[in-house]
């Protein structure tokens, strides 16, 4: 039996709490630390950065966080998977390799590309956009981890893929393991917005002491081989993880019970939530369906 994979989150958006990476690395055991840095507005910001300097186009705040914590991650044996590459994942990967060399760290850095549609904008009838990116899935991330990468930076991938990719690499899931993939997508959806899962997205915040919610800890998932997970946070951190906070985040930015992604359609109407004690909620029972391919027009 392969034990659970402990996957944490340290960013829900570009400009999120800078200290979160250190907090997550020092707060308790982790196997993988993820971070979501991209939103539609962020792509615009990165696009303007790239217009000024073609070597930019990535989340520079992540590079600053790694300046402070790359050695700590190496010491703790924590692998890092983020979409901070934005419009230039190869550029961020190169900057990280330079940083690792300067710090004397034998860190293997990989990047995932293929999301940039700007060269095909005319062919696709998109006009002349500043940026144009497709959402990629998780298998590219998994290949990087299987090849030995300590840090994986991507461009535009689905937010949940940051969690699904490590699950694929760790448990050996294939494209036919739909339920396991769907379960990991649900765990990734809960983690992707950081502290929204630990009280930040909770409408009934008046039911908890205010001081408990002022500085919430970031969430983590104990991901299992069948795709089930336990959502929790490091001991002693602020915020709360219960069925209400997890449910509030599960319902965030979904259009219906069938949550479509590049790798699987996760059936949100099959999710089962179980309290497992203070700040521990189990997610199980998630079913996955194959994506329906649209017929190509003649």
- What is the pLDDT at residue 296? 52
Average pLDDT rounded to a whole number, residues 241-258:
94
Cα dihedral 28, 229, 7, 177 sign: positive
Mean pLDDT of 254-267: 96
Domain-located, residue 298: no
Instruction: Print the domain residue range for 117.
Output: 5-289
For residue 292, what pLDDT band results from cuts at 50, 70 and 90? confident
Question: Domain tally for the chain?
Answer: 1
Apex 8 CA angle, 28 and 97, nearest 5:
100
**87-139: per-residue pLDDT in tens?**
999 999 999 999 999 999 999 999 999 999 999 999 999 999 999 999 999 99
**For residue 118, how many other CB atoms are within 10 A of its CB?**
15
296 falls within a domain: no
163 lies in some domain: yes
Flag whether 236 is in a domain: yes
Within its chain, how far is the Cα of 248 from the centroid? 18
Q: What is the pLDDT of residue 297?
A: 47
Residue 75 lies in a domain: yes
The reported pLDDT for the residue numbered 298 is 40
Asked if pLDDT for residue 63 goes beyond 60, the answer is yes
Q: In the prediction, which pLDDT does 80 show?
A: 98
> Mean pLDDT of all residues in the chain?
94
pTM to 2 decimals? 0.95
Digit-coded pLDDT (tens) for 42-52: 999 999 999 99
- Please indicate, yes or no, if residue 297 is contained in any of the structural domains: no
210 falls within a domain: yes
- Please name the residue ranges forming H helices in 77-221: 89-103, 139-146, 161-171, 178-191, 210-213
pLDDT > 80? residue 295: no
The predicted structure's pLDDT at residue 234: 98
Residue 157 pLDDT exceeds 90: yes
* Residue 18 belongs to some domain of the structure: yes
- Measure the CA angle with vertex 71, ends 111 and 16; round to 5°: 65
């Amino acid at each position: 039996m392969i034990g659970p994979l402990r996957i944490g989150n340290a960013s829900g958006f570009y400009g999120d709490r800078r200290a979160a990476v250190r907090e997550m690395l020092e707060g308790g055991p982790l196997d993988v630390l993820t971070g979501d840095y991209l939103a539609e507005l962020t792509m615009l910001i990165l696009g303007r950065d790239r217009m000024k300097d073609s070597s930019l186009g990535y989340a520079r705040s992540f590079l600053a966080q790694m300046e402070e914590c790359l050695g700590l991650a190496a010491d703790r044996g924590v692998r890092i998977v983020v979409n901070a590459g934005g419009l230039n994942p190869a550029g961020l990967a190169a900057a990280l390799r330079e940083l690792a060399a300067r710090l004397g760290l034998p860190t293997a850095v990989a990047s995932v590309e293929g999301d940039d549609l700007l060269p095909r904008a005319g062919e696709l009838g998109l006009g002349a956009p500043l940026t144009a990116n497709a959402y990629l899935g998780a298998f590219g991330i998994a290949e990087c981890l299987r090849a030995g990468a300590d840090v994986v930076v991507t461009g535009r991938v689905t937010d949940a893929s940051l969690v699904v990719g490590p699950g694929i690499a760790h448990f050996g899931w294939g494209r036919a393991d739909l339920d396991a993939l769907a379960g990991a997508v649900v765990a990734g959806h809960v983690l992707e917005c950081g502290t929204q899962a630990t009280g930040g997205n909770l409408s009934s915040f008046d039911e908890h002491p205010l001081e408990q919610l002022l500085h919430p800890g970031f969430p983590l998932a104990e991901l299992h081989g069948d795709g089930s997970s336990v959502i929790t946070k490091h001991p002693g951190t602020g915020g709360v993880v219960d069925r209400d906070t997890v449910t509030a985040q599960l319902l965030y930015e979904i259009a219906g019970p069938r949550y479509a992604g590049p790798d699987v359609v996760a059936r949100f109407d099959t999710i089962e939530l179980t309290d497992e004690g203070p700040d521990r909620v189990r997610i199980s029972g998630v079913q996955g369906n194959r994506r329906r391919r649209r017929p190509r027009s003649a």
